[in-house]
Chain A
Amino acid sequence: MYLKMLRIRIFEEQVNDLYRSAKMPGLAHLYIGEEAVAVGVCSALRDDDYITSTHRGHGHCLAKGADVGRMFAELVGKEAGYCRGKGGSMHIADQEKGNLGANAIVGGSMGIATGAALSAKRRGTDQVAVCFFGEGALGQGILYECMNMAALWKLPVIYVCENNLYNEYTHYLETTAGDIALRPAGFGIPFHEANGQDVLEVFKTTEALVERARQGQGPAFVMCRTYRQHGHHVGDVDRAYYRPKEEERQWAEERDPLTILAQSLIAEGVAEAVTFDRMEEEVRTQIQEGVKFALEAPYPTPDEVTMHVYSNG
């Protein structure tokens, strides 16, 4: 799990560099600081379980098993990318690993995840669907429509709310009334809270709920408290007007998910500091190779533009 979190961390640092050196077009929303959520949740899933992701989705993709090189290729718009360069950062989908796609509409994938759960139930598989969304999506009505149906039909879907405290540039307490826990509870959906900086806690919480869903006992809701160490997107650098620097410092220095796991592993005597250094070296090499592959890969040819508007046509 540490390795997976580290891969996301270094991947995202590289995305930041690519963007700043103008090698990456468009937008990128970094997942740095939230790695324990994606890794904790996806470690509780099988390859054939489904996830739906968000605009801040690189972490979910990697945690579900995506290849670094093909992801970078997608981010820079190359044909070798997961979506042949036609989806980009906010739409990476990886069907083979059950990733039904990131979504650039906040709350846009509630229906997709819930529908995948309905499909799993109808087809008689024991697959589970996880719907990742940020706390900003608590404002979207479709969440409540879908939770209602998931509860009525006892669907194997887990709603994972990544509460990173900010709806873009606005603190969630300014946009969210009442007690979040009561919202799923109103539909009879069990609500659980996990420390989103502690990958083991996220994993254990999710694992139990995934198992419960697999056995036909219906949906669950997990809220992971976490923090976006960078801005809303890579260009969001002057953030003092919506959140204090001291808050950013505290989360980065005192509540970083990688540091927390590394320290506990060292304290338990399971690993030594040098192990983590070696891992980092290994991941950095892997990431560099991925970037190199992506930058050298060819762009899609112009005939690609009209391909895949329709299936078989």
Chain B
Amino acid sequence: MSIRMDRVARPEIAVAERQLTMAEAVREALAQEMRRDPRVFILGEDVAEAGTPFKVLSGLVKEFGTDRVMDTPISEAGFTGIGVGAAMTGMRPVVDIMFGDFLFLALDQIANQAAKVHYMSGGKLKVPMVIRTTLGATRRSAAQHSQSLHALVSHIPGLKVALPSTPYDAKGLMKTAIRDDNPVVIFEDKLSYTLKGIVPEDDYLIPFGQADVKRVGDDITLVATSSMVYVALAAAELLAQQGISAEVIDPRTTVPLDVKTMVDSAIKTGHVIVIDEGYQSYGVTAEIASVITDGAFYNLDAPVKRLGAMDVPVPFSPALEDLTVPTAEKVAELAINLCRKRS
């Protein structure tokens, strides 16, 4: 994973020196919000002393105690439902679903309960709950610990969905999620937890529905989510060597989706590839490609192309698993094809 370096240019915060890993950024967001608001608490499997298998929450239980960092039994449906009930009655739970794949166990509580309570009650009840979970393959964890299931929840009205790609975004989006009055599902890329980036210590929020241009370019737009932002940035480097200038846009939230930033970029460049680690069919790439096509059709020089994960259960063998996710080389090859066709 040598391509997963933090190459994100953030000129507006270039003065800040402090670097945190993605895991530390998430932890700082939670700690700050828990200090600010006594209603915020965490519940999930191995969140307290263990601090999760990825050590994202390490140390929080020391500061906040087991009443606010609660270890649960291995009962995803049960504790997610308990989170919904607590949220409906004045608390602001952060429910920890260890692996994104386990969302399936809690889906009735997420999709039939949390997502619909506000609407079904005619706006009277609210569910200010965050569900923290993970996505991403290539950890050799096989088919039930490697999926990227953000399309699944993005499909359900009533849920918001955030996908931070950098430590800076991870902190700002988590704080926004906790303060939001709606259920928010946040997916963190397991392989990005050790990634470092600039993160200011102060209290800042990143509004939902605001994409971030991670690299400015003129010839092609690469829309990339979460882990795929680094694939797109690496592809942009390869393309630069070929004289192709790529713009990399990270939507940061799939719901709400910042259509305008993506469409404006597509109008400027005329070429678009959408890259996402979810299964390609019926997924996030399809939705994004469709809204960009709608908004920029007459300015496009080629169809909007998509690169998602292969439509196969994620295989264990490294020799096979690496084939299933988009790589910088694949993105660059497709981009060169698209851009050269015209000229």
Q: Which residues of A contact B (CB under 8 A)?
A: 50, 52, 81-87, 91, 93, 95, 100-101, 103, 105, 108-120, 122-123, 129, 141-142, 145-146, 148-149, 152, 307-313
Residues in B whose Cβ lies below 8 Å from that of A310: 118, 158, 160, 182
Report yes or no: B123 in contact with A307, Cβ–Cβ below 8 A: yes
Question: Residue B32 at the A interface, CB < 8 A?
Answer: no
Of the listed residues A82, A93, A105, the one surrounded by the most CB atoms of chain B closer than 10 A to its CB is A93
Tell me the chain B residues, 107-140 only, with Cβ under 8 Å from chain A.
Answer: 108-109, 112-113, 117-126, 128
Contact (A115, B88) CB under 8 Å given A93-B125, A145-B75, A149-B79 = yes
Report yes or no: A309 in contact with B77, Cβ–Cβ below 8 A: no
Report yes or no: A142 in contact with B81, Cβ–Cβ below 8 A: yes
Q: Which of B72, B118, B125 contacts A100 (CB 8 A)?
A: B125
Closest A residue to B43 by beta carbon equals A118
Report yes or no: B112 in contact with A309, Cβ–Cβ below 8 A: no
Question: Residue B85 at the A interface, CB < 8 A?
Answer: yes
Contact (A308, B122) CB under 8 Å given A112-B113, A149-B72 = yes
A–B pairs, 9, beta carbons within 8 Å = A91-B120, A93-B120, A111-B77, A112-B85, A115-B81, A142-B77, A145-B79, A308-B123, A311-B182
CA distance A301 to B255 in the complex (A): 26
Closest B residue to A107 by beta carbon equals B108
Report yes or no: B89 in contact with A100, Cβ–Cβ below 8 A: yes
CA distance A152 to B75 in the complex (A): 13
CA distance A123 to B125 in the complex (A): 18
What is the minimal beta-carbon distance from B92 to any residue of chain A, in angstroms? 10
What is the minimal beta-carbon distance from A20 to any residue of chain B, in angstroms? 26
CA distance A109 to B82 in the complex (A): 9
Report yes or no: B109 in contact with A111, Cβ–Cβ below 8 A: yes
What is the minimal beta-carbon distance from A214 to any residue of chain B, in angstroms? 16
Q: Which of A86, A103, A109, A117 contacts B122 (CB 8 A)?
A: A86
Other A-B pairs beyond A52-B85, A83-B122, A114-B81, 18, CB < 8 Å: A86-B122, A93-B121, A101-B121, A108-B108, A111-B80, A111-B82, A111-B83, A111-B85, A111-B109, A115-B85, A118-B91, A122-B67, A145-B75, A145-B77, A145-B78, A149-B78, A152-B73, A311-B181
